Amino acid sequence: MSDTAEAFVLDRMSTPIGELLIAVDGEARLRILDFGDYDERMHRLLRRRYGPDGVRLEDGRAPASIRQPIEAYFAGDLTALDAIPVKTAGTPFQLAVWAALRTIPAGETLSYGALAARIGRPSAVRAVGLANGANPIGVVVPCHRVIGADASLTGYGGGLERKRWLLSHEGAHFTAPGGGQLELTLAP
C-alpha cells in the first residue's frame, strides 16, 4: 500500500436486506455502500475509482452521522438518508447522474429516460443506465428508484429482491418482471 493511500474506515451494519459494507473517509463522508455478499465487487470498485493503491481500508465503526440515518431509514424514517454527506470519484457525467438520483424522493421512481431528461441529456438513456449501475453508494444514492419506462422492476446491483424490498419499504409502485409477484428471499 502506498503511503499516499487515502484511509477509509470500513464498517459493517446488519439491516433487513442483509449486511451493509460502509466505507467512510476522514471527513465523515460516505464513500462506498455495498452489500456484504458483494465484498469483492466493493474492492474492485475501489481499485477502479482510486487506483490499485489509492485506498487503504481500516476496520472500524462509521460515525453516528452515518450510522444513525441508515438505522433510521430502515426503521421507517424514509428521509433520514438525505442528510448523509457523500463523496466519490467518477466522471463528470456519472457525478451528474448520481447527484440527480439524490433528488428522487423516497416513494417515487423515475425511468432511465426521465432521469436522462432531468440532467439535460434526454438522448443519453443508455449512458444514464450505465452510470446508475456504476453507483458506488447504493441505497443512500438511491439508484433503486430508477425503474423501466413501463414501471417494471429492472436490474439492481444488490439483486432484484433487495430493489423490490427497498421500493416496497418506501411505498413506491412498480411492476415485477413478467408482471407477477417477486419473492423476497434474503438471508437474515
Taking the chain (188 residues) in runs of 10, the rounded mean pLDDT of each run is 80 97 96 93 88 92 97 97 94 96 95 95 95 94 92 86 94 66 36
Which grid coordinates are listed for 84? 448523509
Give the containing element (helix H, strand E) for 97.
helix 92-101
The DSSP call for residue 16 is T
How many CB atoms within 10 Å of residue 43?
15
Domain span including residue 98: 92-177
Q: Do 27 and 73 fall into the same domain?
A: yes
Supply the pLDDT for residue 62: 97
Q: Which amino acid is at 15?
A: T
122/144 Cα distance (integer angstroms)? 20
Determine the 3-state secondary structure of 67 from DSSP: helix
* Per-residue b or e along 56-74, where b marks 16 or more CB atoms closer than 10 Å to that residue's CB: ebeeeebeeebbebbeebb
Specify if 137 maps to a domain. Answer: yes
Domain-terminating residue out of 63, 83, 103? 83
Supply the pLDDT for residue 179: 47
The residues, ordered by sequence, that sit 6+ positions from 50 with a Cβ below 8 Å of its Cβ are: 6, 89
143 is catalytic: yes
Supply the pLDDT for residue 177: 55
Number of H helices, E strands in the chain: 6, 6
Supply the pLDDT for residue 151: 85
Q: Do 50 and 68 fall into the same domain?
A: yes
161/134 Cα distance (integer angstroms)? 19
Supply the pLDDT for residue 140: 97
Q: Do 97 and 74 fall into the same domain?
A: no
State the CATH number of the domain containing residue 23: 3.30.160
Specify if 188 maps to a domain. Answer: no
Specify if 183 maps to a domain. Answer: no
185/188 Cα distance (integer angstroms)? 9
Q: Catalytic: which of 30, 143, 146, 147?
A: 143
Supply the pLDDT for residue 176: 59
Specify if 187 maps to a domain. Answer: no
Strand partners, 114: none
Supply the pLDDT for residue 3: 61
Supply the pLDDT for residue 182: 37
Q: Do 102 and 158 fall into the same domain?
A: yes
Q: Do 68 and 130 fall into the same domain?
A: no
Domain count within the chain: 2
